[in-house]
Amino acid sequence: MAQQKHFTLEEVIPGGKNYKKLQPQNMHLQWHGNKLVRIEKNTCAFYNGKGQWEQLFSLEEITSACKHIKSLDYASFPEKDIPVVCFHTDSIYIEYNWKNKEVLTQKKFRGRQHRDVSAVSKWMAYNLNDNLYVENLYSNEKRQLSQDGSHDIVYGQSVHRNEFGIVKGTFWSPDGMRLCFYRMDQSMVPDYPLVDISSRIAVLQPIKYPMAGTESHKVSVGVYDVQTKKTVWLQTGDNTDQYYSGITWSPDSKKIFLYNLNRDQNHLKLWQFDAATGTLEKTLYEETHPKYVQPDHGLTFLPWDRDKFIFWSEKDGFDHLYLYSLKEGKVIRKITDNSLGVVLDLLGFNIKTRSVIICSTGISPIQHNIFSVSIDKDMHMLLGGNTGVHGGQLSANGTMLADTWSSPDVARQIDLINTASGKMTKLLAADNPWKSYAVPEITSGTIKAADGQTDLYYRLIKPVDFDPHKKYPTVVYVYGGPHTRLVEASWGYMCRGWELYMAEKNYVVFVLDGRGSDERGLEFENVTFRHLGKEEMRDQIKGVEFLKSLPFVDSERIGVHGWSYGGFMTINLMLTYPDVFKVGVAGGPVIDWSYYEIMYGERYMDTPQTNKEGYDESNLRLRAGNLKGRLLIVFGYNDPVCVPQHTLSFIRACEDAGTHPDLFTYPGDGHNMIGRDRVHLHEHITRYFEDYLK
């Protein structure tokens, strides 16, 4: 290994100068209807089914008609049967017909946010100064739909702090003639004072941040009709302490469906509305749970039967798909069962075979594999290989699947798969981008959780030039919270670049997904309910016990590092087990869950008023005097997620208790460092472990 290259942070950290050079070769693929299209910077080609790519158009051809286009990377295909390519960037919207070599429309944008285009009607919705507008992309017609938009009242934006699967605030009907949108009144939510220090006199840039147990914003849902130019409001009743998600249009554009979830997040209702009047017509489905319900997905109608739709539910313990009939007014059947594990994604349908194509953990909890599942029968078929982590793009009719995957030993492969027969054609087998480097040994396995029964998956990275007779310092990298996992059977077991770098510096790095993390089912996750941090720490200590059983781990030199929820876990572990961890680096940590947002925090902890014991138990300020080892806390000075109050209040508590953490901040950065700051961050983290753990 001495003759091989060594990783640098510039190569392994996103934002590094040479980061892209060490990423596995890839293809930028899209479907134009049933035609698979490969997009490169200078050319766009389709796969002819005979092992060849045939050019559709080139960058030179596009730029001769549209000089604003510098690369084809932003190309998309809004309509499946028409030879039109769209370029939609921060500043422009262009549609070009490559067959006729004609620019169909060209629009420049300034200040317009949250843009949402109907590919059918060519109307675009957007937000400007917190008001909602629509504009026809083939004419100069613009309409302002709201007048009272402000810092307190916003239209057409994501609501409920992006929880419940919400990522946007506007939803066009299938015919493009009606727009469903959110209106959020947050006037009752106090301003949280973030500060911009880039000017000579710092400027206040407040955000609305509803903290657990306090008054929350109110959301309503409107429907604008392009033809009548009128807006109606869905009759949802009193919007106080209500969450609305999963907005879905019926295929005929006449009905709107959405989930209503109470603030306790334990009672879910699926409502149906008349889109023309806003009338609540019926409640289609209800679900309750003593802890919480998570409506993270909208409805998906069957393309061959407009009366039936698929919805997601964890009511049987795992995310599964269920078939509902509007005509019968009931759930017809459960489409997926526990043999398919947790359903992760619904990619689409093979219309001919009447099958739904899904991605799930059906083979292993740390794998993602793709299956074709019959809608009408208890049958499913694996598509693609039975190893690794797969993700797919489906053709319009669902007969062909572009499957991009990797495994611990395969950097990246792309296969074209017939979803009826399972026949595969290899499109890409990427070379190992690490082949000229000194790569440490990366392994994965399981240990038992603190309950003595549950298998937990880990990743272990040994130092480069590993000597089994030596004792090495060890860093435990931790997240531990819901909706995230760190160990999977993808390339290098999902090993992070910083772990490779630390292995070169003679550290063992260990990562364990304990109970509370993602993709293992509802009971695995909600075991942490009302006492965040408690069970997760018990599982991490089981990981430490495993490490101490290894002859090459120096039990006197164990460190811990994590970000966000992992920052909370890092400090919590150091305060709860002060004699176990010598050094810790906590990034963007939660310190007190009563300072965290309502939607996420109350799902897992209830309110501070109803769960004082749980909030006190997880309040790290109350145990600041327990700090014994060296602790570095890093945070973004303008963090809108784990606001700076978390870190600053803990520093004050440590000062009062006579303990001495170290502090570092990135002014202007949010919850995560990006670009060059991310490289600098990992330099700083590494230096801290080098100074105090070796």
Per residue, the 3-state secondary structure of 285-323, as one string, reads: EEEECCCCCCCCCCCEEECCEEEEEEEEECCCCCCEEEE
Indicate if 81 and 202 belong to the same structural domain.
no
Asked, for residue 222, whether it belongs to a domain, the answer is yes
Nearest of 412, 360, 420, 348 to residue 386 by alpha carbon = 360
Residue 339, phi then psi, degrees to nearest 5: -65, -15
Residue 555 counted as domain residue: yes
Cα separation, 556 vs 437, whole angstroms: 30
Chain mean pLDDT for the chain: 97
d(CA 634, CA 188): 31
- For residue 691, name the pLDDT band (cuts at 50, 70, 90): very high
Give 10's Cβ-side CA count (13 Å radius).
3
Q: 10 Å Cβ neighbour count for 138?
A: 12
Percent of the chain residues topping a pLDDT of 70: 100
Whether 638 is in a domain gets the answer yes
pLDDT at 473 > cutoff 90:
yes
pLDDT for res 111: 86
My answer on whether 673 and 579 are in the same domain is yes
- The C-alpha atoms of residue 425 and residue 403 are separated, in whole angstroms, by 10
pLDDT tens profile 213-251: 999 999 999 999 999 999 999 999 999 999 999 999 999
Mean pLDDT (whole number) for 148-157: 98
- The answer on 530 and 660 residing in a single domain is yes
- Residues 422-466 have pLDDT tens digits of 999 999 999 999 999 999 999 999 999 999 999 999 999 999 999
The reply to whether 313 falls in a domain is: no
Q: Residue 470 — very low, low, confident or very high, per pLDDT cuts 50/70/90? A: very high
The whole-angstrom separation of Cα 43 and Cα 74 is 12
The stretch 639-659 carries a mean pLDDT of 98
Q: How confident is the model at residue 329 (pLDDT cuts 50, 70, 90)?
A: very high
Q: Mind listing the pLDDT tens digit for each residue in 545-594?
A: 999 999 999 999 999 999 999 999 999 999 999 999 999 999 999 999 99
Cα first-last separation, the chain: 22
Give the whole-angstrom CA distance, residue 2 versus residue 506.
Answer: 14
State mean pLDDT over 281-293: 98
Residues 536 and 676 in one domain: yes
Structural contact between residues 323 and 376, judged by C-beta atoms closer than 8 angstroms: no
Q: What's the gap between Cα 640 and its chain centre?
A: 17
Specify if 687 maps to a domain.
yes
Say if residue 1's pLDDT is above 70.
no
Other beta carbons within 10 angstroms of residue 686's beta carbon come to 18
My answer on whether 506 and 555 are in the same domain is yes
Residue 535's domain comprises: 442-589+623-692
Between 76-80, 312-316, 443-447, the lowest mean confidence (pLDDT) is in 76-80
CB 273 within 8 A of CB 257: yes
Do 162 and 286 share a structural domain?
Answer: yes
Domain C-terminal end among 111, 136, 161: 136
87 and 126 housed in the same domain: yes
Side-chain-facing half-sphere of 378: CA atoms under 13 Å = 5
* Residue 46: its H or E element: strand 43-47
Question: Is the domain of 49 the same as that of 80?
Answer: yes
Please list the helix, strand and coil fractions of the chain in percent, rounded to the nearest 5, in that order. 15, 40, 45
Q: How is residue 405 written in tokens?
A: 């995957």
Identify residue 386 by its one-letter amino acid code: N
- What is the pLDDT at residue 220? 98
CATH code (residue 446): 3.40.50.1820
CATH of the domain at 222: 2.140.10.30
Judge residue 471's burial from the number of C-beta atoms within 10 Å of its C-beta, 0-12 exposed, 13-18 middle, 19 or more buried: middle
pLDDT of residue 2: 53
Q: Are residues 158 and 72 in the same domain?
A: no
- Judge if 447 and 554 occupy the same domain: yes
272 and 185 within one domain: yes
Q: Considering only 1-10, 118-127, 138-147, 468-477, which range has the smallest mean pLDDT?
A: 1-10
Residues with catalytic roles: 564, 639, 671
Confidence class for position 168, pLDDT limits 50, 70, 90 = very high
Are 558 and 644 in the same domain? Answer: yes
| Of 2-11, 510-519, 589-598, 659-668, minimum mean pLDDT range | 2-11
Asked whether residue 314 carries a pLDDT value surpassing 70, the answer given is yes
Asked whether residue 304 is assigned to any structural domain, the reply reads no
What pLDDT, on the 0 to 100 scale, is given for residue 586? 98
- Domain end, chosen from 228, 263, 298, is at 298
Amino acid identity for residue 336 in this structure: T
3-state secondary structure 251-264: CCCCEEEEEEEECC
* H-helix segments, 527-675: 534-548, 565-576, 598-605, 612-617, 645-657
Contact 96, 102 (CB under 8 A): yes
pLDDT of amino acid 68? 83
Domain termination site, one of 76, 106, 136: 136
The verdict on residue 407 lying in a domain is: no
User: pTM (2 decimals)?
Assistant: 0.97
Antiparallel, parallel or unpaired: β 583-587 and 630-636: parallel
Number of domains into which the chain is organized: 3
Q: Does residue 552 lie within any of the structural domains?
A: yes
